[in-house]
Amino acid sequence: MIPFNDPFTTGKELEYINQAIANGHLSGDGEFTHRCQSWLEKQLGISKALLTHSCTAALEMAAILADIQPGDEVIMPSYTFVSTANAFVLRGGVPVFVDIRPDTLNLDESKIEAAITLRTKAIVPVHYAGVGCEMDKIMSIAEQYNLLVIEDAAQGILARYRGEPLGSIGHMATLSFHETKNIMSGEGGALLLNDPRLVERAEIIREKGTNRSQFFRGHVDKYTWVDVGSSYLPSDIIAAFLWAQLEQVEAIMHRRMQIWQHYHETFAALEAQSQVRRPITPTHCQFNAHMYYLLLPNLGQRMALLTQLKQKGILAVFHYVPLHNSPAGLKYGRVSGIMTNTEQLSDRLVRLPIGAKITLQEAGYISSLVLQILTEQ
């Protein structure tokens, strides 16, 4: 049986957790948290990284920082994970769903302007499969209309758009270290801030609305409740685990790239016969092999492929069920324009197993089965 996601560990996780125990600091903002945050700041070239419990938590922090008020609108794709929308709905915000591009399945930047109203506060581009959204255009629209850009870079670690790391382009960005992502700590995430003016308030929001971080730096002589907030900071045990992963990032990325390339080369022939469509990566986007997907001709063929792979012991999956016509999406959001690409492409997508634990042999087995199933159809 080949599971869809088999989380890869480097072997150093427990050693670092033991070190954290020996350090005697197991709550948030310990030594490993600082190490991970500095690493992210340096690698991504950003003002501040703050570890959180999840990308969801980081998105919730971003919504508070963006000062989303009831009725404020936030433009985002419908083809995304629920947290992209939920984080803003929790503040009374209204997700405004815009269609995706047919090539990258990212937010269609040419449809953003038509979705802007007097209530629009922010745009949330989601870098699907670690391939960058058209950030030049998105940033210039944001500037023109005075909007904040919050990159949902949950899948985007170390990928680039025109040479810039994803997560370093918008005003804020969020990463996920969920076990299904390239670098993981079971659950985990980070809020990335590119505007130094946001840092102080972000630290307060993350520390239950207190100025505890300033107190520990000696900037204030007592700490107290100063703003809204919650507990968004993870234990240093989680950060110790994450540090083991960050140290091995190159090896992890290398293996994922190999598998991705293998799939991509193997399925070229199927694409030539119009049996599948492979992922499209614009030349100015450097991706991170977060995901390998195929687009089948229709829903029936997608489901047939998933079923037959499962019978042979391979767990492939699909996602996302579009948010705009989900029960909560209908209740809390609204649609701008037509959603043809979102509706059609989400029915046709299959994700194949990819990860640093999958061997090239296994990838070969998976791809040959896919070939066999699709040529017999």
The binding site for ligand PLP (CB under 6 A) comprises 54-56, 80-81, 83-84, 126, 152, 154-155, 176, 178, 189
Nearer to ligand PLP, 238 or 374 (CB): 238
Nearer to ligand PLP, 88 or 212 (CB): 88
Of residues 95 and 262, the one with the C-beta less far from ligand PLP: 95
Q: Report in angstroms how near the CB of residue 275 gets to ligand PLP at its nearest.
A: 27
Q: How far is the CB of 30 from ligand PLP (least distance, A)?
A: 21
Structure tokens, 368:
């040959």
Pairing verdict, β 334-335 and 48-52: unpaired
Shortest distance in whole angstroms from residue 5 CB to ligand PLP: 11
Residue 205 and residue 136: Cα distance in Å, rounded? 30
Using alpha carbons, select from 122, 117, 114, 113 the residue that is nearest to residue 91.
Answer: 122
Instruction: Report the distance separating Cα 5 and Cα 353, nearest Å.
Output: 6
**CB closer to ligand PLP, 352 vs 370:** 352
User: What is the closest distance, in whole angstroms, from the C-beta atom of residue 124 to ligand PLP in the complex?
Assistant: 9
* Beta-carbon contacts of residue 303 (< 8 Å; ≥ 6 apart): none
Q: Closer CB to ligand PLP, residue 17 or residue 184?
A: 184
Is the CB of 152 or the CB of 236 nearer to ligand PLP? 152
What is the H or E stretch that residue 268 is in?
Answer: helix 268-272
How far apart are CB 126 and ligand PLP at their closest, in Å?
5
Structure tokens at 63: 């919504």
Residue 23 neighbours by CB under 8 Å, 6+ apart? 30, 31, 236
Cβ closer to ligand PLP: 81 or 267?
A: 81
> Strand 148-152 vs strand 120-123: parallel, antiparallel, or unpaired?
parallel
Q: CB-wise, 30 or 130, nearer to ligand PLP?
A: 130
Give min distance, CB of 159 to ligand PLP, in A.
13
Q: What angle do CA 353, 326, 166 make, to 5 degrees?
A: 50
**β-bridge partners, 191:** 50, 174
**Where do the DSSP E strands lie in 194-340?**
285-286, 292-295, 334-335
Closer CB to ligand PLP, 130 or 229, in the complex = 130
Best CA proximity match to 289, nearest among 358, 348, 242: 358
Q: How far is the CB of 82 from ligand PLP (least distance, A)?
A: 8
Residue 291 vs residues 199, 232, 243: alpha-carbon distances, Å:
32, 27, 23
Identify whether the C-beta of residue 357 lies closer than 8 Å to the C-beta of residue 7: yes
Q: How far apart are CA 300 and CA 153, in angstroms?
A: 31
At closest approach, how far in Å is the CB of 371 from ligand PLP?
A: 28
- Crossing angle of helices 249-266 and 360-376, in 10° steps, is 30
Report the nearest approach of ligand PLP to the CB of residue 54 (Å).
3
